[in-house]
A and B are shown apart, each in its own frame.
Chain A
Amino acid sequence: AQKVTQAQTEISVVEKEDVTLDCVYETRDTTYYLFWYKQPPSGELVFLIRRNSFDEQNEISGRYSWNFQKSTSSFNFTITASQVVDSAVYFCALSDPLQGAQKLVFGQGTRLTINP
Chain B
Amino acid sequence: EAGVVQSPRYKIIEKKQPVAFWCNPISGHNTLYWYLQNLGQGPELLIRYENEEAVDDSQLPKDRFSAERLKGVDSTLKIQPAELGDSAVYLCASSLGRASQTQVGNEQFFGPGTRLTVL
* Contact assessment for B41 and A104 in the assembled complex, using a CB-CB cutoff below 8 Å: no
Instruction: Enumerate B45-93 residues with CB–CB distance to A below 8 Å.
Output: 45, 48, 56, 89, 91, 93
Smallest distance from the beta carbon of A87 to chain B beta carbons, Å?
A: 16
Residue of B nearest to A51 (CB): B105
Given A33-B105, A43-B89, decide whether A99 and B112 contact each other with a Cβ distance below 8 A.
no
* Contact assessment for A102 and B98 in the assembled complex, using a CB-CB cutoff below 8 Å: yes
* Contact assessment for A52 and B110 in the assembled complex, using a CB-CB cutoff below 8 Å: no
Flag whether A42 is at the interface (Cβ < 8 A): yes
Neighbour of B107 across the interface among A35, A44, A91, A103, CB < 8 A: A35
Smallest distance from the beta carbon of A109 to chain B beta carbons, Å?
A: 5
Complex Cα gap A64–B109 (Å) = 20
Total chain B interface residues with beta-carbon distance under 8 A: 27
Smallest distance from the beta carbon of B93 to chain A beta carbons, Å?
A: 8
> Which residues of B does A touch, CB under 8 Å?
3, 31, 40-45, 48, 56, 89, 91, 93, 95, 98, 101, 104-113, 115
* Contact assessment for B56 and A50 in the assembled complex, using a CB-CB cutoff below 8 Å: no
* Contact assessment for B105 and A47 in the assembled complex, using a CB-CB cutoff below 8 Å: no
* Contact assessment for A102 and B48 in the assembled complex, using a CB-CB cutoff below 8 Å: yes
* Contact assessment for B41 and A109 in the assembled complex, using a CB-CB cutoff below 8 Å: yes
Query: Which 8 A-B residue pairings sit nearest by Cβ, starting from the closest?
Result: A106-B42, A101-B104, A33-B105, A45-B110, A44-B112, A47-B107, A43-B113, A101-B105
* Contact assessment for A100 and B95 in the assembled complex, using a CB-CB cutoff below 8 Å: no
Q: Which of B101, B105, B108 has the most chain A CB within a 10 Å cutoff?
A: B105
* Contact assessment for A95 and B105 in the assembled complex, using a CB-CB cutoff below 8 Å: yes
Task: Find chain B residues with CB under 8 A from A4 CB.
Answer: 42
Residue of B nearest to A49 (CB): B107
Neighbour of B108 across the interface among A100, A104, A108, A109, CB < 8 A: A104
How does the 8 Å CB contact mask read for A34-56 relative to B, with 1 for contact and 0 for none? 01010000111111001010000
* Contact assessment for A104 and B45 in the assembled complex, using a CB-CB cutoff below 8 Å: yes
Given A104-B45, A109-B42, decide whether A42 and B112 contact each other with a Cβ distance below 8 A.
yes
* Contact assessment for B45 and A103 in the assembled complex, using a CB-CB cutoff below 8 Å: yes
Smallest distance from the beta carbon of A61 to chain B beta carbons, Å?
A: 14
Residue of B nearest to A98 (CB): B56
* Contact assessment for A102 and B95 in the assembled complex, using a CB-CB cutoff below 8 Å: yes
